[in-house]
Structures are given as C-alpha cells and as structure tokens.
Structure 1
C-alpha cells in the first residue's frame, strides 16, 4: 500500500521522508501549488506595521514561510508581538524562522483538532479589546477566528502572503504517472488529505474519475466529509500529528 501525500511540495517532501523513516511506502502527490501573492507590497507593509500589533495569526506553515520571505533585512520578529499557530507544522515553521517559545501561542498538544477553535481556547484568557491583530493567510479562508476576535473588541486585518493554485499534472510526468496509478488501482493506494482544497483540485484534475474504491485518511472532520462527498469509499479521520497519522496507516495496513 502506497501512501500519497497531497500537501504542497515542500511539506509533502518532509512528510514522505518522515513516513519512510517509519517503514511506510509514501510518495508525494502535491494537490496544491504555492505561488507568490498578487500584492507583495502589502506583505512588506504588514511587516513594517508589525511592531504595533498585539498578535499575528499564521494559518499554515506556508503562511509563516511565505510571510518571512518578505521580511525586511533590518527587521527581526518584534519581541512584544505574539505569534499564533494553528498546529504543530506551523509551530515548527515559526520556530525555524526565529519566533521564540515565549512569543508563541498554539492549541494544547492534546487538543482533539488543530484548528481555529482550538487556538481560541488558548487566546480566550486574554483581553482583546482595542488589540491590533494580523491574520496571515493565502487568498481567502475561514474567518471564524477573526470574527471571534472582533466580537471581543479586537481590530483584525488580513494579509495574503501567498496564493494556492491547482497543480498542472500535464507538465509533470512523474506526478501524472502517480495519479494515474492511483486511479487504476485504488486498493493499493491510500490518500493522505490535509486540506479540502486539495480534494477539490483532485476532482478538477480528473472530473470523470470514480472514487468508489479509493481509501483516504483526513486530518480534520471537515476534510473527511469532503472526501466522503466526493465518493471516496473509505475515509478515516486522524489528528494531524506524525504519530497519529502513522498509527492510522499501520492500523489500515494490518
């Protein structure tokens, strides 16, 4: 059974390496491409205004990495500004980029899900009246956390640090071959989904494909439901940590 990791290319490569170290046959099949934002000046302006913020929320590892690409050479992360992470992957990215543990806010390690609601459980103990908050994301996304912070009196702005686009399988023979192999033999492949958007891109790439023999692991209930709606025969939910994903894969393999 081959596990198909559908995260963007950089994260997919890391996951393939980590899964291989656990003896799992895994291959990257990125279903989201990360490209620069339409307005790079807006990202640069967000950096210049950062010292006046109370909090910057990063919705994904890509949000962190792409935001820091535009960091002015003479700026470090402001010591007084908190950085909020949605989950472990984003936390690791922020640490690698220079944010310290004392500046970071993230969901509890044992949270049932790593999402905006789990992050809010850590943020809700603070007063947000008149606080300035920046949400760093791609081109769009959920606004539940922003709406919740605004309801508590915060001023919330967004900046798009990158764009998510569908991959062009016709331009990559290796990815096209992996996709066709998965379609031809659903029993021998296991899809690992960490984004509903990845599923949308998959359906767009092969609009006439049938998924009644396909199996998937999803790292959030919303993602799992989207896979079921798409017709996947067997969809298993798991937390997005490496240990949880490995345990789920091993249970299916046995």
Structure 2
C-alpha cells in the first residue's frame, strides 16, 4: 500500500489520528481539513429535551462531535446518567459513549443510517407503546432516521449540537496541495465533506474528479458519481480500519 498518497479531509483532530494510523501501515497522507466544528448554544426548548432525557426509549448519536458535545450538555443536568438505550452509526462514536459508562449498540458493518435502522436492538428499544427517540446530531443532518422511526410509531426529537463549515482556504489551495505532494487519492468521511471538497475544487473539479475517491457509504458514493467523480471506492464505513481494508483491495496508481 506504500504507493498510496492520500488527501485527508476530516476535521483537524480526526485527520491527525487517521494520519498516524496510515503512517503505521506505510501509507502516506496529507491533511487538508474541510470540516470545522462549531458548537451551538442551546436554547430553552432544547435544554428541556435534556431535562426530560430519562423519558426516551432510545438515544441515537450520529457522530463523534455529537457524542462529545451531547455528553457535555447532559452533565449539566444529569451528574449520573440514567440507564438508557444508546445507539450510534459507528464504532468510534460508540467508544466515546462507552468510556462514560453508556451501553451502546451499533451496526457491525456499515457506518450509516441505513445500517442502523436494520439493527435488532433498535427495533426492540422502540417496541413499547408511544416510544420517544432523541437524535443527537449536527445542524441540518439527514432526515432518514426520523422518517423511518416515525413510520414505526416513534416520536422523534432532535438535539442539534453543532454545525460544520468549510474553513477558509486561498483559491487553488486544494489543487496546489495535490500537485505539490503528488497525491493520488482523496478521502471524505461524509456527504457534507464531499460537498466541501467539490466546492473548494471549483473549476479544477473535472481534473480532480479523475482521482480515486474513498467514501464511507453507498449514499456518498452515489452523490460523488452524480457530481462526476470517475473512480469512487465505497469503504462501507468511515473508520481507519474500513479505509485500510479498501486500500488493500485496490492497487495504487503509478506515481
């Protein structure tokens, strides 16, 4: 895998962690964070959701920032967390919650909402009468979870804890980084991450669209192909392990 030279686009701290794992496996990388996290100030209606936290049959946490910020907000109202059924879309978010003593269920394969909705433990959690579900997420996330859970008779509330935005970079910064470091693969961890990649690429997108693009799910893969990406690899997960597995399956282009 040593011929791979990847551009990492996650938030800065996650790029650092992923780059370290890749280095251990002799994969070169360069970090250009395309997602910056800004915590939101909660207004009274959302603070009310936290005060009634023990009334939820299931709590779904969709990302690592949602896990960290959600736990911080809960600590203001619940010095001792009530026993709750927690769910995440991936192992990394689950680990953050587990370190705080939460019992967490998540899909063994596939870091996305579709995989979570198939989880038997989630169906069991909302099997009672008039179940309430709390979804901790960023501003403007997908509606699929709420739609499907509502169809199954659950009442769904959102706790929006942060927003993601594209950091400021000079014009041409993306293309320049790829050319200077001879990168031959791009890695995005979400649909919004891909949107920011496409936005920053600007007029250079047709050229960059020919590079191998590693994405976390079929949904993001379809989004990328629709935008013109020519070589899309669905890692079926956003973890370092999922990316490494995909790299092992695919020979790197010649440098």
| Residue aligned with 2:66, SS | helix
Where in structure 2 are there 5+ consecutive unaligned residues? Answer: none
Query: Alignment partner for residue 237 of structure 1, among 230, 234, 242?
Result: 234
Residue 194 of structure 2 aligns with which residue? 199
Matches within 5 A, 1:1-254: 1-39=4-42, 43-73=46-76, 75-76=78-79, 78-96=81-99, 98-100=100-102, 103-107=103-107, 109=108, 111=109, 113-122=110-119, 123-126=122-125, 127-170=127-170, 180-182=176-178, 184=179, 188-209=183-204, 210=206, 211-240=208-237, 241-250=239-248, 251-253=250-252
Q: 1:243 to 1:72 in 2, by over 3 A?
A: closer
Calculate the TM-score normalised by the size of structure 1: 0.84
Superposed CA RMSD in Å reads 2.5
Shift, 1:227, TM fit: 2.1
Residue range with higher mean Cα deviation, 66-75 or 144-153: 66-75
| Residue aligned with 2:118, SS | helix
Shift, 1:158, TM fit: 0.5
Shift, 1:59, TM fit: 0.7
| Alpha-carbon distance in 1 for matches of 2:251, 2:44 | 47
| Residue aligned with 1:162, SS | strand
Q: 1:36 to 1:42 in 2, by over 3 A?
A: farther
Shift, 1:187, TM fit: 6.3
| Alpha-carbon distance in 2 for matches of 1:200, 1:94 | 28
Shift, 1:186, TM fit: 9.4
Calculate the TM-score normalised by the size of structure 2: 0.84
Shift, 1:185, TM fit: 6.8
